[in-house]
Amino acid sequence: MGLIVQKFGGTSVGSVEKIKNVANRVIEEAEKGNDVVVVVSAMGKTTDTLVSMANDICSSPSKREMDMLLTTGEQVTISLLTMALIEKGREAISFTGWQAGMQTESVHGNARILDIDASRIQAQLQANKIVIVAGFQGMDRQGEITTLGRGGSDTTAVAIAAALNANRCDIYTDVTGVFTTDPRYIQNARKLLSISYDEMLELAHLGAGVLHPRAVEYAKNYQIPLEVRSSLEKESGTIIEEEANMEENLIVRGIAFEDSITRVTVNGLPRSLSVLSTIFTTLAKNHINVDIIIQSMTAEETTNLSFSIKSEDTKAALLVLENNKSHLKFDCVETEGELAKVSIVGSGMVTNPGVAAEMFEVMANTGIQVKMVSTSEIKVSTVVNEKEMVKAVEALHEAFKLGQHAKVLA
């Protein structure tokens, strides 16, 4: 007997019929003799609908009240799934995030998990019950309801798996696994048999929506085996583990891309050793996530600083900069929107020099201008015009032969 944590996303529980199907999948796992904890998201487009309703009422809703509103979506799912399991003859009980012991920091809309008191879940498992937990939510030390940000149900599932020392965490979704790139855009995208934590973490950070980055971080830190698999099709998925099976000649394992990127350029900053830490500390304190950064010196003994952010954060970032202009001592700020980020990822890049050069050559031959670049040991990211995003991905996917079935090396 083992302990399995299952997570089902919004599309997997998008209707009553789909919830009944999920109940069957849960029962199948329980009938193998395993204890089962299930984490679920809100049904289908529930969260988007709630956000739209809030925006119809006011232009800038309170973050606290948004958390109060959005957490209701998962509560609908947990109660319906629990009813479905009971109707099928299984003992089950549902918990909200705070009932399940999820303690978070005091940040509305994007809180991090600080601790999990899993005693209540453990007690119900010992009573031979299937435990259903609402993903995406928790409570801070002041008793305020918080949410974990988009994709937070993945994080909830892996964090619970770590707290319970689970044997495995299965992430059920509407795709059959992790692909070389998004199959909705690239027809010959191929499912990977396995991928390392580090590669998956890079892909998740870079826009691949199949898993939340924090979930992968938890899995890596606590060595929780993950499998991404389909909630509808009964086939093996993609295993995410410390050392993935290498595939012959596959230096690049995947391509991630993300639209709605804006480049912000702060001109005329003083040339001092502390300028970078000052400006990015100011942005971080206001929860503005900065990605690719480029610094350039000018002949006038000043510094120009460019960085990319999500376009939805542009208004807030500009307000923070303007409010701190006297402290930061810059001349002006420029922005360029309608950009996208395209990235290649692969652990094989560490021992294979020239991958970045090949990427830039492909982009140049395709007539795509690269506006910003960022690299690490296992990834190269570029910022391009949004309208050229898919063309760039198609060209890179073909150039690195990601659509071909490679031989798995022992």
- If one compares 214 and 7, the residue with the highest pLDDT of the two is 7
Buried b (16+ CB within 10 A) or exposed e, 372-401: bebeeebbbbbbbebebbbbbbbbbbebbe
Residue 68 has what pLDDT?
97
User: Between residues 231 and 407, which one has the greater pLDDT?
Assistant: 231
Look at residue 246 in the predicted model and tell me its pLDDT: 59
Q: Which letter does DSSP use for residue 210 in this model?
A: T
Is the pLDDT score of 406 beyond 80?
A: no
pLDDT band for position 212 (cuts 50, 70, 90): confident
Mean pLDDT of 318-342: 95
Does the structure show a pLDDT above 50 at 37?
A: yes
pLDDT at 409: 46
Residue whose C-alpha is closest to residue 51's, from 126, 147, 139, 124:
147
Q: Which H/E stretch holds residue 82?
A: helix 63-87
Share of the chain above pLDDT 70, in %: 97
In this prediction, residue 410 has a pLDDT band, given cuts at 50, 70 and 90, of very low
The domain segmentation of the chain, as residue ranges, is 3-174
Give me the mean pLDDT over the 231-247 stretch: 82
- pLDDT higher than 90, residue 61: yes
Strands 194-196 and 226-230, sheet pairing: unpaired
Q: Strands 35-40, 3-8: parallel, antiparallel or unpaired by DSSP?
A: parallel
Helices 63-87 and 16-30: crossing angle in degrees, nearest 10, is 60
Task: Report the half-sphere exposure of 390 (CA within 13 A, side-chain side).
Answer: 8
Strand order in the sheet with 102-104: 113-116, 102-104, 137-139, 145-147
**pTM score, two decimals?**
0.84
pLDDT band, residue 165 (cuts 50/70/90): very high
DSSP 8-state secondary structure symbol assigned to residue 409:
P
End-to-end alpha carbon distance in the chain:
29
Tens of pLDDT, residues 338-378:
999 999 999 889 888 899 999 999 999 999 999 999 999 99
Taking the C-alpha atoms of residue 401 and residue 368, their distance in angstroms, rounded to an integer, is 20
223, pLDDT greater than 90: yes
Residue 408 has pLDDT above 70, yes or no: no
Ramachandran angles phi, psi of 273, nearest 5°: -65, -25
Q: Is 157 helix (H, G, I), strand (E, B) or coil?
A: helix
Q: Are 189 and 403 in contact (CB under 8 A)?
A: yes
Reported as a single tens digit per residue, the pLDDT across 257-307 is 999 999 999 999 998 888 889 999 999 999 899 999 999 888 778 999 999
Q: 72-90 pLDDT, tens per residue?
A: 999 999 999 999 999 999 9
Q: Percent of the chain beyond pLDDT 90?
A: 83
Whole-number pLDDT of residue 249 = 55
Cα–Cα distance between 378 and 260 in angstroms, integer?
A: 24
- pLDDT score recorded for residue 350: 86
CATH superfamily of domain region 3-174:
Acetylglutamate kinase-like (3.40.1160.10)
Helix axes 152-163, 213-222, angle to 10 degrees: 10
Q: To the nearest whole number, what is the mean pLDDT of the chain?
A: 93
Cα gap 67→158, rounded to integer Å: 21
Instruction: With both helix axes pointing from N to C terminus, report the angle between 63-87 and 46-57 in degrees, rounded to the nearest 10.
Output: 150
From residue 315, alpha-carbon distances to 21, 58, 335 in Å are 43, 17, 11
